[in-house]
Chain A
Amino acid sequence: MAATADVTLGFMPLFDSAVLVAAIEKGFVGDEGLSVHLVRETSWANIRDRIAVGHFQAAHMLAPMPIASNLGLTPLSLELVAPLALGLGGNAVTVSQDLWRRMTAENAGPGTDPSANGAALRRIVERRRASGEPPLRFAVVHPFSGHNYELRYWLAGCGIDPEKHVEIVVVPPPLMADALSTGAIDGFCVGEPWNSVAVASHAGRIATTKASIWRLSPEKVLGVSARFASENRPALDALLRALYRSSMWCGESANHEELAALMSTPAYLDLPRERLMPILTGRLTLGGGATGYIPEFFVPHAKGATFPWQSHALWFYSQMVRWGHTPHSAALAERARDTYRPDIYRQALRPIAAPMPGANMKVEGALTVAAPVGASEKGLVLGPDGFFDGRIFDPDRLDDYVASQR
């Protein structure tokens, strides 16, 4: 039976809000008997506050946001659940033209290889430290973001201490390209289309991508007020089904032109359509005449992209511990893990026979080739999901992983 309910969702003007946008524009929410309103916001803080006061029941969220909120790390902590992911990947690291020139002199390029380009960056950082120059400044969109944690993971993996050797600041995505061209920052990690925008305005050069640092890695989730989730399960279940169908539509390459056109309209990103194609095709203009093809740059549906893997929640938690954002205890780890709610996902999608993985957690970075998994009738293929440094995150050995990162 269809649930009838009014739901208001908040979103930030980033391409990975596509699953929410298409769910409405392509009528998937209507098919579920839902009336859903999308409200564009100017900051993640606004999204959080408006969920707190009940203006929004759910929203487009940075995956670590609901975890941080449940751990009491944000200025206004409220109970949130993440019952569905809004895709994998979609980010890149862009550096200023000047920094890229210096990196090239250290053998960076021509592609986006995180190891080679990271090693070049390390040599520059070391020289700056030796000569007493101020540290390079990188920007991310939010402290509790995939951007912050993947940038730090990459830097640390290349021998650059993100706490001591560089400075990391927060800049809103639409202001990144300007900050780069004025020299306020030397580089940033942000979701598309903001890397392509910086490249198009000759402000920067894409140095590496999220998909190269950690292939098929988590990025955004649907963050839902825990109270709404417990009091309105039929409506939430219907919403998840609509979003799942929407993700399937977004994942079809035949729909990519239409999706880019939709996202380019003033109500959503209000940017030229051609800036929005690279995230869908993985064919990026890197800057300085270079282009690159990044397989699975952004994956809205395939490879279990909507499943709220609790191992993803625990990896973010491990990074929060690593960088001193939270203390570590078994109870806190459990709280972080249980923010992700695969149980809700499974129940909501059972009626439409969506393929399901057998487990709620997986060993991250262990698949070197694509592998079929799961017990559902229609198969689910996962991976390859490697980290650039070849490390593996086994959520059952969280303490060892945390200890090894110190």
Chain B
Amino acid sequence: MIHRDLTILVIDENAIRASIIEAGLRDAGHSRVSVVHDVHGVGRVIERLQPDVIVIDLENPNRDLLESMFQLSRSVKRPIAMFVDRSDSRMIEAAIDAGVSAYVVDGLRQERVKPILDMAISRFNAFSRMERELADARSELADRKVIDRAKGILMKSRGIGEQEAYKLLRTTAMNQNRKIAEIAQSLVLAAGLLEDL
């Protein structure tokens, strides 16, 4: 079956995520993909593109603005309904959990839109995972730095070796049922205060 290529508009204030979605759509063979980061003036974009599918992130406070254009504007001629099939609640849930929402032109067949939304959902999830990993990596790095500083303080003030200093931190953490990084943080903070005196 031959279909006209779907026109897809991605609205996302996060430029990196938007480009990941765009790349995914292009990989899937969609050539008519447009990306908008700023909702300001999106009405004109919609008017010009007449998109079949609009993908927007849920954190975007301008979703209400977007929907009002579908409802009240005379410039957007075709009525646009949300999601592929109102009965497909599992997909709606997956999309909302992933933080993405989509609007499709009424009457567009489900099998044509489902892969697009599935792709958007998985890429949104992958992006969140990446962000989480990045945040974890950052805090791990920060933890390591603070532990190193705490070790340095102990080595200097107690005249002990590095291994011994680490063991001291670990034992204290275990006794107090706290993380080593927390103990190290307290120590660095206290040392800083004492230095100022």
A contact set with B: CB distance below 8 Å = 42-46, 49-50, 52-55, 73-77, 141-143, 169-172, 174-175, 184, 325
Contact = CB atoms under 8 A, between A and B. Distances in A.
A21 B67 CA distance: 28
Interface in B79-105: 80-83, 86, 89, 92-93, 96, 101, 103
B171 interface: no
B92 A53 contact: yes
B63 A43 contact: yes
Contact of B96 (A44, A50, A74, A143): A50
B76 interface: no
B62 A172 contact: yes
Given A42-B59, A46-B58, A75-B103, A53 B89 contact: yes
Contact of A49 (B62, B71, B80, B96): B96
Nearest to B62: A172
B81 A75 contact: yes
Interface residues of B, number: 26
A73 B92 CA distance: 19
B61 interface: yes
Given A76-B86, A325-B72, 18 more contacts: A42-B60, A42-B61, A44-B64, A49-B101, A54-B93, A73-B71, A74-B67, A74-B71, A75-B81, A142-B64, A143-B67, A143-B71, A170-B64, A172-B64, A172-B65, A174-B61, A175-B61, A184-B40
B96 A45 contact: no
B98 to A, nearest CB: 12
A52 B67 CA distance: 17
Nearest to B73: A169
B70 interface: yes
Contacts of A325: 71-72
A170 B101 contact: no
Q: Which of A42, A170, A174 has the most CB of B within 10 A?
A: A170
Contacts, number: 71
Contact of B89 (A42, A50, A52, A175): A52
Q: Which of A49, A74, A141, A175 has the most CB of B within 10 A?
A: A49
B175 interface: no
A39 B68 CA distance: 24
What secondary structure prevails in chain A residues at the interface with B? loop
Interface of B: 40, 58-65, 67-72, 80-83, 86, 89, 92-93, 96, 101, 103
Among A42, A44, A53, A75, find the residue whose CB has the most chain B CB atoms closer than 10 A: A75
A191 to B, nearest CB: 14
Contact of B70 (A54, A75, A171): A75
A220 to B, nearest CB: 15
A143 B92 CA distance: 23
B92 A43 contact: no
A-B complex: 6 closest residue pairs judged by Cβ atoms: A170-B68, A75-B82, A172-B61, A45-B63, A43-B63, A53-B93
Contacts of B89: 52-53
B83 A76 contact: yes
A45 B65 CA distance: 10
Contacts of B71: 73-75, 143, 325
A53 B94 CA distance: 9
Contacts of A77: 86
B64 A45 contact: yes
Nearest to B83: A76
B181 to A, nearest CB: 25
A143 B72 contact: yes
Contacts of A174: 61
Contacts of A45: 63-64, 67, 101
27 contacts: A42-B60, A42-B63, A43-B60, A43-B61, A43-B64, A44-B64, A45-B63, A45-B67, A46-B63, A49-B82, A49-B96, A53-B89, A73-B71, A74-B67, A75-B67, A76-B83, A77-B86, A141-B64, A142-B64, A142-B68, A143-B68, A143-B71, A171-B65, A172-B61, A172-B62, A174-B61, A325-B72
A234 to B, nearest CB: 26
Nearest to B94: A53
B157 to A, nearest CB: 38
